[in-house]
Amino acid sequence: MAGARDASRLSLRDARARARQLATALVQPQVSSAARERRDLLVLLAAVALVVVPHFDHLAWWATAILMLLWFWRVWLTVTQRPAPGRFAMLPLLVAAASAVWIEHGTLVGRDAGVTFLLLLMALKLLELRARRDVFVVIFLAFFILLTQFLFSQSLPIAALTIVAVALLFFVLTSVNLVETDLPAARKARLVGAIVLKAIPLTVAAFLLFPRISGPLWGLPGDATASSTGLSNAMSPGSISRLLESNAIAFRARFESAPPGNERLYWRGPVFGHFNGRTWTPFAQRTALPPRLAIRADPASAVDYSITLEPHQRDWLFALEVPAVAPDATELAPQLTPEAQLVSARLINERVRYAARSYTAFALGMNETDASLRDWLQLPVGYNPRAQQFAAELRRRLAGSSSGAQRDGTGAIAFVNAVLEHFRTGGYQYTLNPPLLGRHLVDEFLFDTRLGYCEHYASAFVVLMRALDIPARVVTGYQGGEINPVDGFMTVRQSDAHAWAEVWLRDRGWTRVDPTAVVAPVRIARGLPELQRQTGLAPLATGDGALAWLRSLRFNWEALQNSWNQWVLSYTPERQRALLAAIGLDPDGRTLALAFALTLSLLLGALAVVSLRHRVERDPLAEAYALLRRRLSDAGIDSAPTLAPRSLLARVERQLAPGSRAAAREILLAFERWRYSRAAASVSRAQLRSLRRAVRRFRPRAAS
């Protein structure tokens, strides 16, 4: 008898303990349900803004305007607690959005049209948030749209913005799933941080080990195909000087040893020989070519380096003068043209890396013939008569002849020096803002304005050399560069774009002559930033005074971007194979799959161990009650976690359809009976399973 009483006391004590457990879980200091929902919705709207804003750069103006209007409308409804538009009011908006996308793109699928349509759908869905299910739809749609950002840009800022947006979306997702109770924002933030931290090892393993393909699955991102260089396949007055204000990066170089001095940093690009009186372009077809490209280089002047070239939509590559052989880059299939220009077999429409070797002491084109040099003497008829006259006077003054200048290297050098001396002593100025020129642009530059940028001096020099019967051509590219002290890479910017001349001398071959070095020696010897400092144009470029910290900030940011480019965006299949080979793995598909599966198993096992260690005993009855409240919330009946089953039943009988009331009444009364009555101690596992099954199958419908 005493044993029975003891057992009864134990059962009653267990029932009371479970009741206290439910009370602890459900009866905690709460923010009101409406205030909590409003707070979560505002966080969701902030996350949606981070998802949408990066797309503004490529969306049509009307799509951007509509998205902003819908977003501010939802914010206004949330802050003022106004009711959302009815479902029938949303239908015309949906039809209008689909029609606008169709008119703009001619389809609703594809990258541009599909992303635009998804963004509009998400914005419209924000206006009809009525139940938790609608919030889930917006959250998961936002997760998907986050991925579409990388179809347009894979830059570091976009990646950072994505991480912030993911954290906010997880914050809202966590808050919405906390049905029984609310948590302080700091605790939810720690929970989200733990989720993100646990995902990092798996993400890194997948990035390093998952088999990579040679190109992206859905084509190149938009920023990969955007032109990032100002050099073109033609040169006319102003075509290079307009790049002065561009701080965009053309390429980065890393030298295996100490880099050459600034005066030797000539990065060779397009070579121009045809002149129509205003514009220099490459020859469409040469009259004759030399037997082969002949380069005699001094081995002691060899320079080894690697280049990370930004996309520019052309086929040319840049190399320090002069590359003796084409780099060994299989995917680019580079080759040297007869003009010693390095070109790729395909357009550079994505960031590429290649290693090269150049020689700063060389002789180029010693095997040229009279026939192959004839093209480099061409001048248009009827242009620049004063320049022609000046060349004739110079020839008479030096007692030379047109044929003698070409045959005798000493005579040609005398003409070259005479023209350079004319630039040095003739009152010419190197200006960053050259004036506009008319039809006879060389004449106007030489004898009227005497103000010009590098392309003016190179063009005028080549015209004078050809008028003196000396083969000459214009070479464009970049001159100089800036070492980033943070990562050691040399950064060559668009503002470093430059043009110089080459003349052919019998004993030396093609010889570089840069008239800019005569007029503005600081530009060549110490670089454009130093020239700008002396002219007071760019304090940021040199870091003088109070702006030095901005220069340091720029160096650090560019080094960070470069690391992102080098180790993330440039992680090609070749680099993956090299990494696996370095750690002793055979980089074939089977090995990669096995390594990835093993790493995944270890990570998941570690997460499982951590989860089991922190696992707490759950109340199955409380979980079933939370599921019931979610079912009712989907039908439009929201309830606080502290609302008792009997009170919830009163609301259910008023708001549910008649067909759903009986099932709801039976379930709620069972909750009340098994939680609060003396029968709570005798609830079996079978009864709990039956109750949970009934709740899962319960699909309530709201009264019409």
Strand, coil or helix: 506: coil
Q: Clarify whether residues 464 and 511 are in a common domain.
A: yes
Whether residue 587 is predicted with pLDDT greater than 50 in this model: the reply is yes
Q: What is the pLDDT of residues 518-529, one digit of tens each?
A: 998 887 877 777
Calculate ∠ Cα 315-321-323, nearest 5°: 65
User: Would you state the structure tokens that stand for residue 530, as one six-digit string?
Assistant: 């130093």
Q: Are residues 100 and 48 in the same domain?
A: yes
Residue 659 lies in a domain: yes
Q: What is the mean pLDDT of the chain?
A: 80
| 190 band by pLDDT with thresholds 50, 70 and 90 | confident
Residue type, 662: A
At 463-482, the pLDDT tens digits run: 999 999 999 999 999 999 99
Task: Please confirm, yes or no, whether 454 is among the known catalytic residues.
Answer: yes
Q: How confident is the model at residue 357 (pLDDT cuts 50, 70, 90)?
A: very high
Residues 409 and 261 in one domain: yes
- Cα-Cα-Cα-Cα torsion 379, 381, 386, 392, nearest 10 degrees, comes to 60
> Do residue 604 and residue 628 come from a single domain?
no
Task: Kindly state whether residues 148 and 261 are assigned to the same domain.
Answer: no
Q: Give the domain-ending residue among 563, 583, 613.
A: 613
Question: Tokens 């049209």 appear where?
Answer: 113
- The SS3 assignment for 519 reads helix
Segments forming the whole domain that contains residue 599: 573-613
Residue type, 234: A
How sure is the predictor about 21, in pLDDT bands with cuts at 50, 70 and 90?
Answer: very low
Is position 279 within any domain?
yes
Overall number of domains in the chain: 4
CA distances (Å), 652 to each of 83, 136, 414, 625, in order?
22, 24, 104, 14
The predicted pLDDT at position 8 comes to 44
Which residues, other chains included, contact 292 with Cβ-Cβ below 8 Å and sequence gap of 6+? 367
Q: Order of strands, edge to edge, in the sheet holding 295-297?
A: 295-297, 362-364, 509-513, 497-505, 472-479, 266-272, 319-320
Residue 571, both tokens = 């992680």
Determine if the pTM surpasses 0.75.
Answer: no
For the chain, what's the residue count?
Answer: 704
Among 223, 312, 443, 454, which one carries the catalytic annotation?
Answer: 454
Parallel, antiparallel, or unpaired: how do β-strands 429-430 and 451-452 relate? parallel
- Would you say 169 and 47 are in contact if contact means Cβ atoms under 8 Å apart? yes
Give yes or no: 498 in active site: yes
Same domain, 149 and 251: no
The answer to whether residues 168 and 21 belong to one domain is no
Q: Encode pLDDT of 124-150 as tens digits.
A: 998 888 777 888 899 999 999 998 888
Torsion 297-302-303-308 (CA) sign:
positive
Asked if the structure places residue 54 within a domain, the reply is yes
Q: Kindly state whether residue 311 falls inside one of the protein's structural domains.
A: yes
Say if residues 281 and 272 touch (Cβ distance below 8 Å): yes
Question: Which stretch of 314-323, 369-378, 448-457, 617-626 has the lowest confidence by average pLDDT?
Answer: 617-626
Residue holding tokens 């079996």?
684
User: 703 falls in which pLDDT band (50, 70, 90)?
Assistant: confident
Residues 38, 10 share a domain: no
* 125, 81: one domain: yes
Q: Above 60 in pLDDT, residue 326? A: yes
pLDDT single digits (tens) 568-586: 766 666 677 777 777 666 6
Please give the pLDDT value at position 471.
95
Q: Is residue 477 assigned to a domain?
A: yes
Average pLDDT (313-340) is: 86
User: Is the residue at 87 inside a domain?
Assistant: yes
Same domain, 597 and 536: no
| β-sheet with 352-359: strand ranges across | 352-359, 302-309, 249-255, 490-493, 482-483
